[in-house]
């Protein structure tokens, strides 16, 4: 009889080995299928994808060698993702249902011990808290009139909809949510507790105005099934599900003994789930490796290139001819000022200053206090980028919309046929420099680490 390990090896053979670490066919298939799914523009064949996958795994290996997986920032982010995948599985719907019933029982006992629930309606003749004597008298007259009408058979719900200042209950004919002791103002509650079903109170004065109360009935706490959905929603909204999970983890850790922690319980849970679910195993591995690859790439290529000013300048000088424009561009500013004399003052402020510092100089000279005297747009402008530049520099027959409170406008700078400095095309240079560093890095990784591909197994990808 074959052992489980041998049997698994036959059903999921090793497709490649990278730095001595085997990569299963299922892991490669998962990555290939995900990155070449329906809708992906630049689809690759299996053979084309092999090199991309190897490069990815080599970067991960470099990150492991650099011990990036020991960084607290990495651990925190990865464990957060692991928890998202694993924590929900620690409990079942039955556990949540049990918590819902516990909340119900506790609430039921508290309400019933406190006298139960009162179902009533009211008509509120609203009154400002600092009402004048005249306003208070007018409110009382209206409340008395409504009460008199009710005594003569007027419909309570109709009058509530017409006169009540409590708009929420007015829409329901004055009916309030079920009330328990302590939920209403003392003046309202004192009368409510003395009323019998069907009774209508005289106007009751509270800080909100005059209430006319109609008692509908007194009852015990409602049945569980009638509030179950609300309790389950309450559990989700208050984050109580996470508390249930924590309680369950504490129980499991205690049962495991020997000082086992929640984290260790979750690690074991993950291992058990991965053994049964290859998709989960590959998903978690992908996230783990992806975090490492991104951090290593950022350190070696992306962030390094963006901050390496000397390297960017050298790259630009070496490849200057490849940065060409089809048409001349305007390197300068389009600006709007409050006063006519500032048109010339802006030009004088920056004419002897390097272009990169124009913005700082203008802010110091014109916008250093609370009054903004100059509105400026600085950059390398193409035709169509700015209406004022189009009109003043490129001679296009456009009319720029005047800027409110800044009636005087002008441009300053020069038209150039090609980039003069690295800063003129910084974004392109950074991108190209990153690409060069990436190629150099991958080449060095391919020399440093050994890797082999089993062509026979590769041929069976998505064909078994």
E strand or H helix at 332: strand 329-337
Q: Tens digit of pLDDT for each residue in 389-443?
A: 999 999 998 776 788 899 999 999 999 999 999 999 999 999 999 999 999 999 9
Chain centre to alpha carbon of residue 312? 34
How far apart are alpha carbons 98 and 248 in whole angstroms?
A: 12
Task: Return the number of other C-beta atoms located less than 10 Å from residue 373's C-beta.
Answer: 18
Task: Classify 220 in phi/psi space as left (phi over 0), alpha (psi -120 to 50) or beta.
Answer: beta
Residue of 204, 77, 187, 104 whose CA lies nearest to 146 = 204
The pLDDT, as a whole number, for residue 5 is: 41
pLDDT of 453 strictly over 90: yes
What percent of the chain stands above pLDDT 70? 98
- Who contacts 104 (Cβ-Cβ below 8 Å, separation ≥6)? 224, 227, 228, 231
pLDDT of 9 strictly over 60: no
Q: What's the first-to-final CA gap in the chain, in angstroms?
A: 23
**Both tokens assigned to 358:** 């124009």
Residue the block writes with tokens 């039955």: 94
pLDDT of 337 strictly over 90: yes
Task: Please check whether residue 391 is in contact with residue 403, taking contact to mean a CB–CB distance below 8 angstroms.
Answer: no
The pLDDT, as a whole number, for residue 402 is: 81
pLDDT bracket for residue 10 (50, 70, 90): low
Q: Tens digit of pLDDT for each residue in 352-361?
A: 999 999 999 9
pLDDT bracket for residue 128 (50, 70, 90): confident
Q: Tens digit of pLDDT for each residue in 50-83?
A: 999 999 999 999 999 999 999 999 999 999 999 9
pTM of the model: 0.70
Q: Tens digit of pLDDT for each residue in 268-284?
A: 999 999 999 988 999 99
Average confidence score pLDDT of the chain: 92
Average pLDDT over residues 147-151: 95
Average pLDDT over residues 326-333: 96
What percent of the chain stands above pLDDT 90? 86
Please indicate whether residue 4 or residue 418 has the higher confidence score (pLDDT): 418
pLDDT of 291 strictly over 60: yes
How far apart are alpha carbons 426 and 421 in whole angstroms?
A: 9
């Amino acid at each position: 009889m074959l052992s489980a390990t041998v049997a698994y090896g036959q059903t999921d053979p090793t497709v490649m080995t990278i730095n001595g670490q085997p990569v299963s066919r299922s892991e490669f298939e998962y990555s290939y299928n995900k990155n070449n799914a329906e809708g992906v523009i630049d689809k690759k064949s299996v053979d084309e994808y092999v090199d991309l996958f190897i490069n990815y795994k080599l970067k991960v290996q470099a990150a492991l060698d650099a011990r990036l997986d020991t960084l607290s920032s990495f651990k925190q982010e990865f464990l957060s993702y692991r928890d998202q995948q694993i924590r929900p599985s620690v409990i079942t719907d039955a556990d949540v249902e049990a918590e819902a019933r516990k909340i119900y029982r506790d609430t039921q006992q508290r309400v019933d011990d406190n006298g139960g629930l009162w179902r009533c309606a009211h008509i509120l003749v609203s009154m400002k808290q600092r009402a004048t004597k005249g306003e208070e008298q007018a409110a009382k007259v209206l409340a008395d009139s409504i009460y008199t009408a009710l005594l003569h058979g007027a419909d309570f719900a109709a009058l509530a909809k017409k006169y009540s200042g409590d708009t929420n209950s007015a829409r329901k004919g004055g009916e309030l949510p079920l009330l328990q002791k302590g939920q209403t103002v003392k003046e309202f509650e004192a009368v409510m507790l003395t009323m019998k079903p069907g009774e209508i109170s005289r106007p009751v004065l509270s800080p909100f105005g005059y209430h006319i109360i109609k008692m509908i009935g007194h009852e015990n706490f409602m049945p569980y099934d009638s509030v179950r959905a609300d309790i389950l929603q309450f559990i989700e909204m208050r984050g109580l599900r996470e508390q249930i999970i924590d309680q369950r983890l504490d129980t499991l850790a205690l049962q495991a003994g020997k000082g086992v922690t929640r984290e260790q319980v979750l690690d074991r849970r993950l291992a058990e789930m991965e053994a049964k679910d290859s998709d989960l195993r590959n998903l978690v591995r992908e996230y783990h490796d992806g975090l490492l690859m991104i951090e290593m790439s950022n350190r070696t290529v992306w962030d390094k290139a963006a901050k390496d000013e000397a390297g960017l300048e050298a790259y630009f000088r070496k490849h200057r001819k490849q940065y060409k424009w089809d048409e001349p561009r305007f390197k300068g500013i389009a600006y709007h000022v409050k006063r006519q004399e500032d048109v010339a003052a802006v030009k004088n402020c920056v004419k002897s200053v390097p272009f990169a510092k124009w913005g700082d100089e203008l802010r110091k000279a014109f916008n250093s206090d609370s009054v903004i005297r100059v509105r400026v747009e600085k950059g390398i402008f193409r035709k169509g980028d700015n209406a004022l530049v189009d009109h003043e520099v490129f001679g296009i027959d456009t009319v720029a919309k005047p800027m409110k409170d800044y009636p005087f406008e002008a441009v300053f700078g020069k038209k150039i046929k090609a980039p003069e400095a690295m800063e003129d095309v910084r974004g392109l240079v950074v991108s190209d420099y990153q690409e060069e560093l990436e190629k150099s890095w991958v080449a060095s990784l391919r020399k440093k680490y050994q890797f082999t591909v089993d062509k026979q197994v590769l041929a069976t990808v998505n064909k078994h």
